[in-house]
Amino acid sequence: MTVTLSKSLGSQGGAVLGPARVIEHLVNTARTFIFDTGLAPAAAGAALAALRLLRREPGRAARAGEVARELHSRLTAAGLEAVRPDAAVVSVRAPPRSRRCAGRPTAGRPACPWAASVLLPCPTASHGSD
């Protein structure tokens, strides 16, 4: 299993969880790991702090999911094409040649379901319904 720290914990990087021999094989052969190094201490510290916060306030993850679903509803009601989120990341199809999308977090294939780029708003538990 792979996990991301960037979307799940607001940090950077990720991890591979599984049997040691599978992890060793991936680290030594996977394109994404061949020239990679360990996390920067600040990124590891940010992920650890986020995990500690989630232990103290476990409702934050559920709240972030609620906010993401509300955002999805509002975006689709406004006529935008968006994927209903399973987590707190909403993939929104970027309007063609939209100047308003410049400088925003985007992803291309294969990370998104469409051939075009998408915006990736990541709501948090701190976002209100406004």
**Residue with token string 């006529």:** 79
pLDDT at 40: 83
Q: Supply φ then ψ for residue 6, to 5 degrees.
A: -70, -45
- Give yes or no for a contact between 90 and 81, defined as CB atoms under 8 angstroms apart: no
Residues 35 and 72 occupy one common structural domain: no
Q: Is 87 helix (H, G, I), strand (E, B) or coil?
A: coil
pLDDT at 98: 53
Residues 22 and 44 occupy one common structural domain: yes
Percentage of residues of the chain with pLDDT beyond 70: 76
Task: Give the range of the structural domain holding residue 31, as residue numbers without chain letter.
Answer: 2-56
pLDDT at 116: 58
Task: Evaluate whether residue 69 is within a structural domain.
Answer: yes
Give the total number of structural domains in the chain: 2
Residues 50 and 7 occupy one common structural domain: yes
Residues 65 and 106 occupy one common structural domain: yes
pLDDT at 77: 94
Residues of the chain with pLDDT under 50: 99, 114
Residues 79 and 90 occupy one common structural domain: yes
pLDDT at 21: 94
Residues 52 and 68 occupy one common structural domain: no
pLDDT at 72: 92
The whole-angstrom separation of Cα 117 and Cα 105 is 10
- Among the candidates 56, 77, 93, a domain finishes at 56
Q: Is 2 helix (H, G, I), strand (E, B) or coil?
A: strand
| DSSP H/E element including 73 | helix 59-77
